[in-house]
Structure 1
Amino acid sequence: MSLTEYNQKRNFNSTVEPEGEIKKSTSELIFVVQKHAASHLHYDFRLEMDGVLKSWAVPKGPSMNPADKRLAIMVEDHPYTYKDFEGTIPEGNYGAGTVIVWDNGTYTLADYKNAGDLETKLKSDLQKGHLSFILNGKKLKGEFALVKLKKKEENTWLLIKSKDQYAGHKDILLQDKSVISNRIIESLKK
């Protein structure tokens, strides 16, 4: 995986975002969801895969309701160290705005059986355009799927909650505090 696009879009002399380097978890794979108040408020959904964070911008944010099919636009890979990034990206920089870590935790593939080939299975499922995974986060729990839309732009996907014991109709986005700093995005802007 490459972080070239990530690094090219950023001026690290003027942004506090981490520079792109390939790195992996020492045990379980991680996921992170960052609430990002840029030109439009959205949520960045990231899955660790092959030493980077595969990333999707989700304009309406994740939902625990299986009836909600959330648009997810695949964006450039982010470095593993981005998992803890909170702060304000200054005006004039790509993605200018405030970021908090809205949720984080670990994940595994829903249909994963063989401990020897997880990375191969992840890359294969991503290539096929259908990832089913189980999140064990502080807010998001249970099975979800990312499904690539056919006949649309190459980077257009849907993020969908599966029907399981964690599914429900409550708006999970009302839980608006960072899982790292316990702050809301508006207080971090100040």
Structure 2
Amino acid sequence: MSTTPSLLRELNGLNVLVVHPQDNELRVVSSHLQRIGCVVQHCWPVPEALPATDVAILAVEMEQRDAILALCAGLGEDAPPIIAIVGYENPSMLQLLLETRPAAVIERPLKPFGLLTQVLMARVAWKRKVEMLDQIRQLQVKHSSVSKISMAKTLLMLRHGYGERDAHKRIQRDAMSQRCSMEAVAETIIEQHSHPP
């Protein structure tokens, strides 16, 4: 697990997109981010898609509701974390915030420590999420491979009278002789036995 100093060092050079109206608050946010070493970009109004960035800070404004929802709906599971800036609480704003699904929320008036904390926590949470998604993908690939090998063994056992151990050895032997994976051999066996004899 990373230590706090190494996490703070990671903020140096971090690309941060600030989606915010051109006003004094934008200058304050940009100044704080630059002070901790972030590379800041700015855009407004809300874009249709996020450009390449590490973190996005989004001013959640009711007049931009449709654009905000369209942007968030188009984000993939590996999209950078979004930190929402909100100014007041009412049912409409809370609903928009829930639909936006930000990684963190900063309430106005902004405080430098709060901004730093939320950027850091959002980035840490995003990295954990990406690692977890990668592990899930690896498990899905492994599960698919194991399922194919298991199906191929079952076919060899049913069609050729192999025992389970012999069926496994046959697939291993073919993989070694053909210099390919056991999964590739299993796929060939499944394809060859896909039609009844």
Give the TM interval when normalised to the shorter protein.
under 0.3
Higher relative contact order (CA 8 A, sep 6+): 1
TM-score normalised by L of structure 2: 0.24
Give the structure with higher Rg (CA).
2
TM-score normalised by L of structure 1: 0.25
Q: Which structure: greater strand fraction? A: 1
